[in-house]
Chains A and B, each alone.
Chain A
Amino acid sequence: MGKTLAEKIISVSTKKDVYSGDVVLCDVDIVMAHDGTAPLAIEEMKKMGVDKVWDPNKVVLVIDHTSPSPSDRISNIHAMIRNFAKENNIPNLYDAGSGICHQLLIENHVIPFQIVIGGDSHTCTHGALCAFGTGMGSTDVAAIFAYGKTWLRVPETFKVEVAGPLQSYVYSKDIILQTTKEIGAAGATYKAIEFLGSTITNLNMDERFTLTNMAVEMGGKSGFIPVDNVTKKFLEGKGVRNIPEIKPDKDADYEREYLLEAEYIEPMVAVPPRVDNVKPVSEVEALELDQVFIGTCTNGRLSDLKTSAKILKKKKEKVKVRTIIGPASRNILIQAIQEGLIEVFLKYGAVIIPPGCGPCIGRHLGILGDGEVCLSTQNRNFKGRMGNPNAEIYLSSPATAVASAITGYITDPRSILE
């Protein structure tokens, strides 16, 4: 019987033929926890009666959610993570300013066929490299710290095929917002989502990660994209060679199939407080904004910054609302400096924050005031997400976000650029 990508990856990892519905005990290749989830995992591991992690080389710790620390209490929690890394000789502790956990995993750790478990829901991002990435809570993470194992139920898969060319100023973020609208915020609960089709093949890796990053926004366990030449080039750039192409079998069994025609996808916006309340920008145009945020594990990569800077340069206008730019990692920030992007942002009035989650999680660096409206490139617009339940968060692509920053209200990038 043919296999989906999820079935293939777990079969390779467990050296067994597995299909959806099977429950397997897996050896974990990478376990990641950050300053929001590591502290509890550390405590839980100790309560399990274990004092050392099973394999320090397979543990990745990241201080990204509230970093550099905004308070003395948080500093103490960060110190606990540093001590734990030291006591366990964990070489991969990424401290403040290194970047967002998922971006660091992509840049430095993840390769195809691995089982990657993160104490963070957006660990589904790593399916773009054909690793089985999924998020779990601190106790699951603690059990992996202690024993290197976890149980998984092999998920059923939804196939999302996207075909044809995208319109100009339409990006993978618009594809995933459209997909979320069709599937719904809970429509893919427990499922894997495979993104296939000619539009996907033409996306670069940065854009692909935006898609798989948001699989969990539909309840998904992980999002997957086949390994093709684009992936292989990306991996070779990191020194990973001899990776074969990885695709689902032709006769793989999908629970549901969706077909999106790229040419009909417009710049989209998710209207708060739901990520699946998605509308074409034209329907919410002219809504006044107080803040624009371009960054996060969804859209803080180099391509996103390039697109944003290009639009600012083309319009040659200063932003009319406070605009925060958060590069997803130190590497990305260095490249953005080398390519002159940061200078463009500063010249046109934006604020640059250190690589990390920034205002996405609502603890520092851009918390919204009562009644304020933000347009963000992040993945969630829940009530209170950016630290204030009386504020509203709209979601869009970086191009829509930067066009809106220039005008001060939600703006279709095509309307000011074409």
Chain B
Amino acid sequence: MKFKGKVWKFGNDVNTDEIISGKYKYDTLNINEIVKHTFEAIDPDFAEKVSKGDIIVAGGNFGCGSSREQAPLVIKQLGISTVIADFFARIFYRNAVNTGLPIIECPLSEKVDEGDILEVNFEEGSIKNLSKNESFEFRKLSMFMLDILEAGGLVNYLREKKGFPLK
């Protein structure tokens, strides 16, 4: 998996209520209906500003709070190619892999600026900042997780494999 895109920056401790408010998720299962509210509490125009392939770079503890899977889903639905955070909240991390949103743990929040263009290579575990001509490495995901991401999420993965692998 390889992506190239423009950076949007977020701070530390971005929580699931800020990603998509709990008040929207009870009314519908249609993600397209709620996607326009993504990050509303932080930046009400965010959903209109992003373009397909853009990359989010955030500080630590991204996605903390509730277990709502709508959080990675709306980000994916907006066309964000990958989220890079210093580190993620645990449930968000699982949910992102399960819903097929590629995520990377790498401390870049102090090193890149909004609008920079990044190129990310998952197999190599490398990130290039094309705007600043800098390179970074990150710890690659386990094969199991890469397989799930490449299948497009756990649903597709389990449908293809008809269950969990034995080992």
A189 at the interface (CB under 8 A from B): yes
Q: Given the complex of chains A and B, what is the CA–CA distance between A389 and B43 in angstroms? A: 12
A residues near B90, Cβ cutoff 8 Å: 189-190, 219, 221
- Judging by beta carbons under 8 Å apart, are A186 and B21 in contact? no
CB 8 Å contact bits of B50-71 with A (1 = contact, 0 = none): 0000000000110011111110
Q: Given the complex of chains A and B, what is the CA–CA distance between A359 and B29 in angstroms? A: 22
A377 at the interface (CB under 8 A from B): no
CB 8 Å contact bits of B144-160 with A (1 = contact, 0 = none): 10000000011100110
Q: Which of A40-48, A193-201, A312-320, A343-351 contacts B (4 or more CB under 8 A)?
A: A40-48
- Judging by beta carbons under 8 Å apart, are A40 and B23 in contact? no
B98 at the interface (CB under 8 A from A): yes
Question: Could you tell me the distance in whole angstroms from the C-beta of B118 to the nearest C-beta in chain A?
Answer: 24
A residues near B18, Cβ cutoff 8 Å: 382-384
B4 at the interface (CB under 8 A from A): no
Q: Given the complex of chains A and B, what is the CA–CA distance between A363 and B99 in angstroms? A: 25
- Judging by beta carbons under 8 Å apart, are B87 and A363 in contact? no
- Judging by beta carbons under 8 Å apart, are A121 and B155 in contact? no
- Judging by beta carbons under 8 Å apart, are A382 and B17 in contact? yes
A37 at the interface (CB under 8 A from B): yes
CB 8 Å contact bits of A112-134 with B (1 = contact, 0 = none): 00000011110000000000000
A136 at the interface (CB under 8 A from B): yes
Q: Given the complex of chains A and B, what is the CA–CA distance between A348 and B89 in angstroms? A: 42
- Judging by beta carbons under 8 Å apart, are A47 and B89 in contact? no
* A126-181 contacts to B (CB < 8 Å): 135-140, 142-143, 146-147, 149, 151
- Judging by beta carbons under 8 Å apart, are B91 and A136 in contact? yes
A residues near B89, Cβ cutoff 8 Å: 186, 189, 219
- Judging by beta carbons under 8 Å apart, are B159 and A36 in contact? no
A56 at the interface (CB under 8 A from B): no
B28 at the interface (CB under 8 A from A): yes
A residues near B95, Cβ cutoff 8 Å: 136-137, 139-140
* B60-94 contacts to A (CB < 8 Å): 60-61, 64-70, 87-91, 94
Beta-carbon nearest neighbor of B70 in chain A:
A40
Beta-carbon nearest neighbor of B28 in chain A:
A73
- Judging by beta carbons under 8 Å apart, are B26 and A37 in contact? no
Q: Given the complex of chains A and B, what is the CA–CA distance between A336 and B145 in angstroms? A: 48
A residues near B21, Cβ cutoff 8 Å: 362, 384, 389
A66 at the interface (CB under 8 A from B): yes
B25 at the interface (CB under 8 A from A): yes
Q: If the complex has contacts A186-B60, A190-B90, are A382 and B65 also in contact, measured as CB distance less than 8 A?
A: yes
A residues near B142, Cβ cutoff 8 Å: 23
Q: Given the complex of chains A and B, what is the CA–CA distance between A74 and B68 in angstroms? A: 16
Question: Could you tell me the distance in whole angstroms from the C-beta of A368 to the nearest C-beta in chain B?
Answer: 12
Most buried by B among A47, A137, A387, A389: A137
A residues near B67, Cβ cutoff 8 Å: 37, 118-121, 135-137
B13 at the interface (CB under 8 A from A): yes
Most buried by A among B90, B162, B163: B90
Q: Given the complex of chains A and B, what is the CA–CA distance between A66 and B25 in angstroms? A: 11
Beta-carbon nearest neighbor of B65 in chain A:
A382
B125 at the interface (CB under 8 A from A): no
Q: Given the complex of chains A and B, what is the CA–CA distance between A389 and B41 in angstroms? A: 7
- Judging by beta carbons under 8 Å apart, are A71 and B159 in contact? no
Question: Could you tell me the distance in whole angstroms from the C-beta of A314 to the nearest C-beta in chain B?
Answer: 36
- Judging by beta carbons under 8 Å apart, are B28 and A185 in contact? no
- Judging by beta carbons under 8 Å apart, are A43 and B29 in contact? yes
- Judging by beta carbons under 8 Å apart, are A137 and B64 in contact? no
Q: Given the complex of chains A and B, what is the CA–CA distance between A140 and B158 in angstroms? A: 11
Most buried by A among B22, B67, B91, B155: B67
Beta-carbon nearest neighbor of A44 in chain B:
B155
Q: Given the complex of chains A and B, what is the CA–CA distance between A259 and B68 in angstroms? A: 33
New A-B contacts (18) at CB < 8 Å, excluding given A71-B27, A147-B158: A36-B22, A44-B155, A48-B158, A74-B27, A77-B28, A121-B66, A135-B67, A137-B94, A139-B69, A140-B95, A142-B154, A143-B98, A151-B164, A185-B61, A361-B22, A362-B22, A383-B17, A384-B41
Q: Top 5 nearest A-B pairs by Cβ distance? A: A186-B61, A137-B95, A137-B69, A139-B98, A121-B67
